[in-house]
Chain A
Amino acid sequence: MILVTAVVKPFKLEEVKAALQEAGVAGMTVSEAQGFGRQGGHTEVYRGAEYRIDFVPKVRVEVVVDDAAAERVVSAIVTAARTGRIGDGKVWTTQVDDLIRIRTGERGPDALR
């Protein structure tokens, strides 16, 4: 199994969610995140004082999928989240050793379905 983690622009969340459902993903975890990459932050001005805001708001999407589905899921996210402008975010994959559905105790790929 593979954990796919994506950090995307907040306004792209709905499209990413739809693309993942389209790709057959049964569930996902979404959290608000802040950070910076090449885009850097932005500045805000209060009474003439400029503040550099380093961390920009992002959304982190996490899904665990079968090995076979990983490539399809990754490209679904990339396609849905892309604007072509700086700050679109990143997607990465991680090997998952085990997975348990808490309600039933099912383990491994069975717990994904």
Chain B
Amino acid sequence: MHYNSGDTAWVLVSAALVLFMTPGLAVFYAGMVRRKNVLGMLIQNFAVMAVVSLLWVWVAYSLAFGPDAGGVGLIGTLHFAGLAHMGQQVPGYHGAKAQTIPPVVFVAFQMMFAVITAALLTGSVADRLKFGAFLAFVVAWTLLVYAPVAHWVFSPEGWLAQRGTEDFAGGTVVELNAGMAGAALALVAGRRRGWPNSLMRPHSIPLTVLGGGILWFGWFGFNAGSALNAGGAGTAFINTNTATAAALLSWLVVEKVKTGKPTTLGAVSGAIAGAVGITPACGFVNTEGATVIGILAGVASALAVNLKFRLGLDDSLDVLAVHGVAGLVGTLLVGFFGTASSLGANGLFYGGGASLLAHQAMAVASVGAYSFLVTWGIAAAIRATVGLRVSREQETAGLDISLFEESAYDFESATGQRAFGAIGGGAR
């Protein structure tokens, strides 16, 4: 088999870029939690990198990208479990879609997507899960939710891919999936004690800005790497940047109009919403499409962050609003802005009629519903057996001290005592 060295190099680099997004996500989230839960957030994300990495090479990759079981497009077989048969091409990639990289490179690249998707869920249930229960959840969730959904959409043998759903880099598989799963997990786990009346403001916006910057950087691997070749990656690369920029600004405009002031956290959040929104679309649209998708993803997410208060759902760091909503918006907008002049089918605005939009809507509905329901089931099962949440005392003391016997920061005062943080108070 002859592989293209340029393509292989680009996808390897992209895999490393996507891996780096998870520590980026970890600090992005860690900045938004209170000081007593910083390490609890960081270790969950770091542990996901380990757990999902092993799970992926031994089982989950094969479920997602292995030869289809029964030809119905629901799940792969265990043919590639333990990375067996890596001399065989990845099933379904024929003709124009034929891969020019070694299958094991594809394994590594896709692994990083599985890692960060599970890691995204830590934001929905910040500050309250038992560590072991969380890890058990991640194992079950990756096998029962991530792998099947990746098979449906990413594998050319999946039922949604077969019907014409277009998802360039994971608007459904990663973003909508994480948003809906996060909401279900937060629903089963319950609210943080005191939410929404007590003060739970971010302890370090600078950390969140740094994390957001790492995510923006890594997203070039995530999106442009999904071209799976170097020559075709440019469109996805520039569209990613365009939409991210547009959403950063549109989120700030929404804030200015709603509350009178743009915020730093809003700027970072907008950038992430834009990168999320363009994820399913980046290779399928042109500059117009990328700009409009970015603007709309930023506006939709900025408006959606208040939804959790109306629902009474403590999706602590807004995974549903930022990833779920922007992922949904981007996936549906492919149905309007998709253009064959980039790649894929024409959408509604480029003479392709409504059929692409219908395929996108079908993917949104099926992935969203499956993700929410199965996640709810897994979380409920764990809650009923080993329990999901830490005790009241542990939650009040913070996960850092109560679960890990560590503190994120050691700012000593002159007396040698740890300095106390700001005394909180007041309602939203």
Residues in chain A within 8 A of chain B (CB atoms): 34, 41, 44-55
B376-387: contact bitstring with A at CB < 8 Å (1 yes, 0 no)?
000000000000
Given A51-B201, A52-B425, A53-B425, do A46 and B265 touch, yes or no (CB 8 Å)?
A: yes
Give 26 CB contacts A-B under 8 Å: A34-B423, A41-B425, A44-B201, A45-B261, A45-B263, A46-B263, A46-B265, A47-B305, A48-B258, A48-B259, A48-B302, A48-B305, A49-B196, A49-B305, A49-B309, A49-B428, A51-B199, A51-B201, A51-B426, A52-B425, A52-B426, A52-B428, A53-B425, A53-B426, A54-B425, A54-B426
**Which residues of A sit under 8 angstroms from B427, Cβ to Cβ?**
52
A55 to B423, CA, bound (A): 7
Report the minimum CB–CB distance from A111 to chain B (whole Å): 22
B7 at the binding interface (Cβ < 8 Å)? no
Q: Is the CB of B261 within 8 A of A41?
A: no
Q: Is the CB of A47 within 8 A of B265?
A: yes
What number of B residues sit within 8 Å (CB to CB) of A?
23
**Which residues of A sit under 8 angstroms from B196, Cβ to Cβ?**
49
**Which residues of A sit under 8 angstroms from B309, Cβ to Cβ?**
49
For A45, the closest partner residue in chain B by CB is B259
Give 3 nearest A-B pairs by CB, closest first: A52-B426, A54-B425, A47-B305
For A54, the closest partner residue in chain B by CB is B425
A46 to B309, CA, bound (A): 13
- A41, A49, A54 pick with most chain B CB within 10 angstroms: A49
For A52, the closest partner residue in chain B by CB is B426
B148 at the binding interface (Cβ < 8 Å)? no
For B200, the closest partner residue in chain A by CB is A51
B239 at the binding interface (Cβ < 8 Å)? no
A44 to B425, CA, bound (A): 12
A47 to B302, CA, bound (A): 7
Q: Is the CB of A55 within 8 A of B263?
A: no
Report the minimum CB–CB distance from A34 to chain B (whole Å): 6
